Copies of this chain bind each other. A is one copy, B any other.
Amino acid sequence: MKQKIVIIGGVAAGPKITAKLLRTKDFDCQIDLYTEENLISYSSCGLPYYIEGLIPDSNRLIVRRPEQFEEQGANIHLNKRCTKILPEEHKIIIQDTITGETQEVEYDKLAITTGARPIIPSIKGINLKNIFSIRTLQDGINIRQKMLESKKAVILGGGYIGIELLEAFHANNIFTTMIEREDHILSLLDPEISDLVKEEILAIAKDNVDIITSDAITAFEGTDKVEKVITKSGKVIETDMVIIAAGIRPNTEIAAEAGIELGVSNAIRVNNRMQTCTKDIYAAGDCTENFHLVSKNYAWIPLGSTANKEGRCAAINMAGQYDAFPGVLGSAVTRFRNLTISLTGLTETEAKKFGFDVICATMTKKDKAGYMPDAANITIKLVVDKRFKKILGAQAFGGGNADKRVNTVASAIQAEQTLDEFLHLDMTYAPPFSTAVDPLISAALIINNKIYKN
């Protein structure tokens, strides 16, 4: 008998589950995916680069169209919002976002892949025109359209998305002020690394970028459209548009109402098979919490790469086979123009918070042989557990594929390599690619020399 698989949410994890189930042999199922949007399977991570103008057509961000899934036998229901989950009855309630009509849908197995949404702070004047948040493809189109007729912009929030939008606006020669409530932008980094990154950004873009930290927006002013931003410290910033990039929160209200257990940051608690605490209900992607492989605690680290892995894992288990997703390291990367900023594992701040006795080294070195014409600086901070000499984390910025070097550390962290093992790692070397002693090894050697004083 065909199993009825129902999926709610259509950006990343939902389509991944669908695709994987369609490829799974020996599992007879009917797949129905419901989304409140009018398209599915698009790269929301690509929106800043569409806004920047690097991608001429927003449709290129669409990974797969509903028709492609339909042809393979899945049913894709657009403009249908799930309003209620009834776990006991194995049913959900779906509402058509256009007609308002509701219907009941039965499931044998349900996957919640509802993702996350921007946090919209309740600031006076927030409903003025030309104040945008960014989540859907349409948001990206609206922002780009407005940007092209703007001279000044304000970005609220100095996280990854804020930085990526800053690049987009800078590249389009819009004078842009970033306002971050905390002392530091990119607060996932250690504070001194964040300071160095901020310096680098301003060095690249000082002509048309201003970064204000430790200040908050208290009001948006204007008649009809936003014209001014007022901050707590008393600054008045004239602007043509505002982007709210003040963080995201998981879309888990309907899960919570149905009694499905939530965890960190109200993300859905799942085990390593992507099962929620409620029978026959799975969850994957940005709406779920993650097990952190270094801290051994749960965290909420919503990322597209993780959504894909979790989607695959959920599909395999929903099909009655076995797969386990071990957890995450929090590996991430962003950029501002040529400046790559990347991290994996725990920062020094986090490691201390979790009680590790840490030893760190931060080192700046050329990313390739110094005599090569395109040699650039890369700065690497390694965080090591002093007692067991395990590598806990790495942060890197600059040239030299900072992200790929961070991946090499990620692999070592996941394998619980010690510092001594890591500093003997046989990495590729040729003058256009690295130094004879790779920057990663240099950073490891500094810590080693600190520990053994040799």
- Point out residues on A near B: beta carbons under 8 Å: 12, 24-25, 43, 45-46, 49, 54-55, 60-61, 160, 164, 293, 303-309, 312, 316, 321, 325-335, 340, 342, 344, 369-373, 401, 403-412, 414-417, 421-422, 424-434, 436-438, 441, 445, 453-454
Q: Which residues of B contact A404 (CB under 8 A)?
A: 401, 404-405, 407-408, 428, 433
Tell me, in angstroms, the Cα distance from A388 to B45 when the chains sit together: 37
Are A431 and B330 neighbours in the complex by a CB distance under 8 Å?
A: no
Are B371 and A25 neighbours in the complex by a CB distance under 8 Å?
A: no
Are A43 and B438 neighbours in the complex by a CB distance under 8 Å?
A: no
Are A407 and B410 neighbours in the complex by a CB distance under 8 Å?
A: no
Tell me, in angstroms, the Cα distance from A406 to B411 when the chains sit together: 11
Starting from the known contacts A54-B372, A411-B415, 9 additional A-B residue pairs (CB-CB under 8 Å) come to: A43-B371, A61-B371, A332-B430, A335-B433, A401-B401, A411-B412, A414-B424, A414-B426, A415-B417
Q: Which residues of B contact A305 (CB under 8 A)?
A: 426-429, 434, 436-438
Tell me, in angstroms, the Cα distance from A336 to B417 when the chains sit together: 34
Q: Least Cβ distance of A298 to chain B in Å?
A: 15
Are A410 and B432 neighbours in the complex by a CB distance under 8 Å?
A: no
A304 in contact with B429 given A12-B436, A316-B454, A369-B46 (CB within 8 Å): yes
Q: Which residues of B contact A429 (CB under 8 A)?
A: 45, 303-305, 331-333
Q: List 24 A-B contacts (CB under 8 A).
A: A43-B371, A43-B431, A46-B431, A54-B373, A55-B371, A160-B430, A303-B429, A304-B429, A304-B436, A305-B436, A306-B426, A327-B426, A329-B426, A331-B428, A332-B430, A333-B429, A333-B433, A334-B430, A335-B430, A344-B426, A401-B404, A404-B407, A404-B408, A407-B427
Are A371 and B46 neighbours in the complex by a CB distance under 8 Å?
A: yes
Q: Which residues of B contact A60 (CB under 8 A)?
A: 370-371
Are A421 and B415 neighbours in the complex by a CB distance under 8 Å?
A: yes
Tell me, in angstroms, the Cα distance from A308 to B427 when the chains sit together: 12
Q: Least Cβ distance of A300 to chain B in Å?
A: 14
Q: Which 9 A-B pairs have the closest CB atoms?
A: A404-B404, A415-B415, A305-B429, A411-B411, A333-B428, A60-B371, A329-B426, A403-B428, A407-B408
Q: Least Cβ distance of A265 to chain B in Å?
A: 18
Q: Which residues of B contact A424 (CB under 8 A)?
A: 309, 325-326, 414
Q: Which residues of B contact A403 (CB under 8 A)?
A: 428, 430, 433-434
Q: Which residues of B contact A304 (CB under 8 A)?
A: 429, 436
A427 in contact with B410 given A55-B371, A437-B308 (CB within 8 Å): yes
Among B164, B308, B342, B426, point to the contact of A436 (Cβ < 8 A): B308
Residue of A55, A407, A408, A426 ringed by the most chain B CB atoms within 10 A: A426
Q: Which residues of B contact A412 (CB under 8 A)?
A: 411, 415
Q: Least Cβ distance of A440 to chain B in Å?
A: 8
Q: Which residues of B contact A371 (CB under 8 A)?
A: 43, 46, 49, 55, 60-61
Tell me, in angstroms, the Cα distance from A329 to B408 when the chains sit together: 15
Q: Which residues of B contact A372 (CB under 8 A)?
A: 46, 49, 54-55
Are A49 and B335 neighbours in the complex by a CB distance under 8 Å?
A: no
Q: Least Cβ distance of A27 to chain B in Å?
A: 9
Q: Which residues of B contact A49 (CB under 8 A)?
A: 371-372, 431-432
Are A331 and B414 neighbours in the complex by a CB distance under 8 Å?
A: no
Residue of A164, A325, A431 ringed by the most chain B CB atoms within 10 A: A431
Q: Which residues of B contact A436 (CB under 8 A)?
A: 12, 43, 45, 304-305, 307-308
Are A428 and B12 neighbours in the complex by a CB distance under 8 Å?
A: no
Q: Which residues of B contact A428 (CB under 8 A)?
A: 305, 331-333, 342, 344, 403-404, 406-407, 410
Q: Which residues of B contact A164 (CB under 8 A)?
A: 430
Q: Which residues of B contact A333 (CB under 8 A)?
A: 428-430, 433-434
Q: Which residues of B contact A438 (CB under 8 A)?
A: 305
Q: Least Cβ distance of A201 to chain B in Å?
A: 16
Q: Least Cβ distance of A378 to chain B in Å?
A: 11
Q: Which residues of B contact A410 (CB under 8 A)?
A: 408, 425-428
